[in-house]
Amino acid sequence: MEPTLKPASNFNAENDANVLRKAMKGLGTDEKAIIDVLAHRSCSQRQEIKALYKTMFGKDLVKDLKSELGGKFEDVIVGLMMTEAEYDASELKRAMKGLGTDEDAMIEILCSRTNQQIKDIKDAYKRLFKATLEKDIESDTSGHFKRLMVSLASGGRMENQPVDMTKAQEDAQRLYAAGEKKLGTDESTFNSLLASQSYEQLRAVFDAYQKISGKDIEQVIKSEMSGNLEIGMVAIVRVVRNRPGYFAKKLYHSMKGLGTDDKTLIRVIITRAEVDMVQVKQEFQKEFGKSLEDFIKDDTSGDYRKDRERKMSQSSLYSRRRKMALKSCLWFLVAVAVVVNTTSACNYLTMMPCLGMMKDNPGNLAEECRVASQVIECLQGLSSECSEKPEYGQMMSNLNTLMKFQCKN
Task: Using the predicted structure, report yes or no on whether residue 295 has a pLDDT greater than 90.
Answer: no
Q: Among 19-28, 129-138, 344-353, 367-376, where is mean pLDDT lowest? A: 344-353
Identify whether the C-beta of residue 3 lies closer than 8 Å to the C-beta of residue 277.
yes
Which pLDDT band, with edges at 50, 70 and 90, does 199 fall under?
very high
Question: What confidence score (pLDDT) does residue 302 get?
Answer: 56
Question: What confidence score (pLDDT) does residue 259 get?
Answer: 75
Task: Using the predicted structure, report yes or no on whether residue 322 has a pLDDT greater than 60.
Answer: no
Q: Among 26-30, 115-119, 183-187, 192-196, where is mean pLDDT lowest? A: 26-30
Q: How many CB atoms lie within 10 A of CB 100?
A: 9
Task: Using the predicted structure, report yes or no on whether residue 390 has a pLDDT greater than 70.
Answer: no
Task: Using the predicted structure, report yes or no on whether residue 13 has a pLDDT greater than 50.
Answer: yes
Range 229-237 average pLDDT: 98
C-alpha angle 39-41-43 in degrees, rounded to nearest 5 = 100
Range 193-199 average pLDDT: 98
Measured over the CA atoms of residue 68, residue 72, residue 73 and residue 76, the dihedral's sign is positive
**pTM for the full predicted model:** 0.75
Question: What confidence score (pLDDT) does residue 377 get?
Answer: 64
What is the per-residue pLDDT across 100-155, written as a single tens digit (0 to 9) for each?
899 999 999 999 999 999 999 999 999 999 999 999 999 999 999 999 999 999 99
String of b and e for 39-75 (b: at least 16 CB within 10 Å)? bebbbebbbbbbebbeeeeeeebeebbeebbbbbbbb
Measured over the CA atoms of residue 87, residue 90, residue 92 and residue 95, the dihedral's sign is negative
Task: Using the predicted structure, report yes or no on whether residue 361 has a pLDDT greater than 60.
Answer: no
Question: What confidence score (pLDDT) does residue 333 get?
Answer: 47
Query: Crossing angle of helices 199-213/227-241, nearest 10°?
Result: 110
Question: What confidence score (pLDDT) does residue 184 get?
Answer: 83
**Rounded to an integer, what distance in angstroms lies between the CA atom of residue 21 and that of residue 24?**
5
Residue whose C-alpha is closest to residue 191's, from 139, 223, 144, 158:
144
String of b and e for 343-362 (b: at least 16 CB within 10 Å)? ebbeebeebeeebeebeeee
Question: What confidence score (pLDDT) does residue 370 get?
Answer: 58
Which pLDDT band, with edges at 50, 70 and 90, does 334 fall under?
very low
Task: Using the predicted structure, report yes or no on whether residue 169 has a pLDDT greater than 70.
Answer: yes
Residue 21's φ and ψ, nearest 5 degrees, are -60, -45
Question: What confidence score (pLDDT) does residue 363 get?
Answer: 46
Question: What are the residues whose beta carbons fall under 8 Å from the beta carbon of 106, sequence distance 6 or more?
Answer: 92, 95, 96, 137, 141, 149
What is the per-residue pLDDT across 21-33, written as a single tens digit (0 to 9) for each?
999 987 778 888 9
The more confidently predicted of residues 126 and 376 is 126
Task: Using the predicted structure, report yes or no on whether residue 187 has a pLDDT greater than 70.
Answer: yes
Residue whose C-alpha is closest to residue 189's, from 202, 199, 179, 201:
179
Question: What confidence score (pLDDT) does residue 29 get?
Answer: 86
Residue type, 328: S
What is the per-residue pLDDT across 202-228, written as a single tens digit (0 to 9) for each?
999 999 999 999 999 999 999 999 999
Question: What confidence score (pLDDT) does residue 342 get?
Answer: 46
